[in-house]
Amino acid sequence: MSVDQPIREFLADLASEASTPGGGSAAAVIGAMGAALVSMVCRLTIGRKGYEAVDAELAAVLEEAEALRARLTDMARADVEAYTAVLAAYQRPKDTPEQAVARTDAVQTALRGATEVPIACARASAAVVALARRAAEKGNRTAAGDAAAGACAAHAALRASALNVHANAARMTDRAYANAALGELEVLLADAALRVEEVWQLLTARS
């Protein structure tokens, strides 16, 4: 897949019987959309009358959001590559003891790579949620709903990424690494859930 392909083409690929792109790529794109919404709110705030006091802060938020958008967009392809590597490892021959050992090692290496991509996506998505919280609170009030939408999108991306981490971690023999990844996920999920709820309360209190 190409990160530059039209959205209709990406969705058609996603809906096809092909195994890639899949949930991991979708999560990355959704997270990138959340970051894009944060960027939009920042741009609708910076330089506007009445928001001079938050110009510098929102400029910093914008810079972070744009960096995360680029990173998450690239992860859509990285997820495909990681999944392809797992499939290739499982397809290695195992007719002799030596081949079987080599195949097992290859599978475990590929699974670790396929876990690192979604955990990175989860981290980036959690960071977007945090930025969306700031944008919703201090950004242009007329665009606060867009910041909230960005928080919800990034939260969905985080949870979708977590599912892939769990799926791969369950097949890993390196339990120390797997458990560390799962433990980090729990922290990211708990923190993001609180921030999304804060955004929701903030927006509903204004209505």
Predicted confidence at residue 6, as pLDDT, reads 84
Q: What is the CA radius of gyration of the chain?
A: 19
Count the neighbouring beta carbons within 10 Å of the beta carbon of residue 21: 21
pTM: 0.93
Tell me if 94 sits within 8 A of 103, measured CB to CB.
yes
If DSSP states are collapsed to H, E and C, what string results for 2-59? CCCCCHHHHHHHHHCCCCCCCHHHHHHHHHHHHHHHHHHHHHCCCCCCCCHHHHHHHH
Tell me if 64 sits within 8 A of 190, measured CB to CB.
no
Q: Report domain extents, the chain.
A: 7-206
Predicted confidence at residue 153, as pLDDT, reads 98
SS3 173: coil
Predicted confidence at residue 206, as pLDDT, reads 76
Measured CA distances, 163 to 2, 7, 48, 64, 198 (Å): 24, 24, 41, 25, 24
Predicted confidence at residue 5, as pLDDT, reads 72
User: In angstroms, rounded to a whole number, what is the distance separating the alpha carbons of residues 141 and 35?
Assistant: 18
Residues 6+ apart with CB under 8 A from 39: 62, 65, 66, 69
Does domain 7-206 sit in CATH 1.20.120.680? yes
Predicted confidence at residue 3, as pLDDT, reads 58
From first to last of the 207 residues of the chain, give the pLDDT tens digit. Answer: 555 678 899 999 999 999 999 999 999 999 999 999 999 999 999 999 999 999 999 999 999 999 999 999 999 999 999 999 999 999 999 999 999 999 999 999 999 999 999 999 999 999 999 999 999 999 999 999 999 999 999 999 999 999 999 999 999 999 999 999 999 999 999 999 999 999 999 988 876
